[in-house]
Amino acid sequence: MHVFLWIIGLALFGYVLVKFIKHRPLSPFMPYKYNFGKRRITFQKVLDLLDKTQAKVIVETGTSRSGLQGAKGDGAATIVFGKWAKENDAFMHSVDISEDSVKGSQTEVDTQNLGNHVRVYLSDSLIFLKEFDQQVDFLYLDSYDYSKDLEVQVKSQEHHLKEFKAIEDRLHENTIVLIDDCRLPNGGKGKTTIEYMLKNDWKIALDAYQVLLVRKDFGF
């Protein structure tokens, strides 16, 4: 009986230890309980660059459909960078083609009281980006979902490149670009966009699950 209790105790301890080690919070900026997993390193870097560049206009394609509950799975970027926008007198524009995603994101925006600094638009990102009439300080591309299906992979990659080209002329010398879901089979969402950007005056600032890009002569 004694040995049995020891084994249970050790197993429980191991479980809690692994959970603790794998937990990647963005605290103190976000509450400790939210785990940003593989995106923490790039989110942290972006938050740092947003501070340094004093960004004012943030644009995201693909909104936080699951709110903060999606921190680990989707990223919850609308809420993270929306909170940064609120605290730094900036504005976050987040666009999504799905009514359900917009509803989910808007609910969290309201719950977090970010409404004066975040707007969630229901639109195809390509239409939205073409019509967007401001210079963009931080562009986050995370729409067309990637999958194991090769056809979907190519469509997702092409869509993200089209998004980039649709807004390209409103990106300035210190714009930050982040692309989600890149460290995946066949290059992930960002493959063709990154290839295009590297041929056009951009460089990789951080290469992780997400890829962060800046101009070759980025000033920060």
Ligand X SMILES: C[S@@+](CC[C@H](N)C(=O)[O-])C[C@H]1O[C@@H](n2cnc3c(N)ncnc32)[C@H](O)[C@@H]1O
Task: List Cβ neighbours of 85 (8 Å cut-off, separation of 6 or more).
Answer: 58, 91, 92, 114, 117, 118
Omega before 28 within 30 of 0, i.e. cis: yes
| Residue 142 binds to ligand X (criterion: CB under 6 A) | yes
Output 192 or 215, the one with its CB closest to ligand X. 192
CA distance 72 to 87: 23
Of positions 144, 153, 178, 214, contacts ligand X by CB under 6 A: 144
Q: Which stretch binds ligand X (CB under 6 A): 75-83, 167-175, 185-193, 199-207?
A: 75-83
Output 95 or 177, the one with its CB closest to ligand X. 95
CA distance 102 to 94: 9
Strand ranges across the sheet with 91-96? 118-122, 91-96, 57-61, 136-141, 171-179, 211-215, 202-207
User: Which sign does the torsion angle of CA 203, 206, 209, 211 carry?
Assistant: negative
| Residue 62 binds to ligand X (criterion: CB under 6 A) | yes
| Residue 210 binds to ligand X (criterion: CB under 6 A) | no
Residue 166 Cα to chain centre, angstroms: 19
Of positions 30, 46, 49, 74, contacts ligand X by CB under 6 A: 74
| Residue 125 binds to ligand X (criterion: CB under 6 A) | yes
| Residue 190 binds to ligand X (criterion: CB under 6 A) | no
Output 97 or 114, the one with its CB closest to ligand X. 97
Of positions 45, 103, 107, 124, contacts ligand X by CB under 6 A: 124
| Residue 85 binds to ligand X (criterion: CB under 6 A) | no
CA distance 210 to 182: 5
Size of the residue set binding ligand X (CB under 6 A)? 23
Output 79 or 214, the one with its CB closest to ligand X. 79
The candidate with the shortest Cα–Cα distance to 214, out of 137, 151, 150, 159, is 137
Residues that bind ligand X (CB under 6 A): 60-65, 70, 74-78, 95-98, 101, 124-125, 142-145
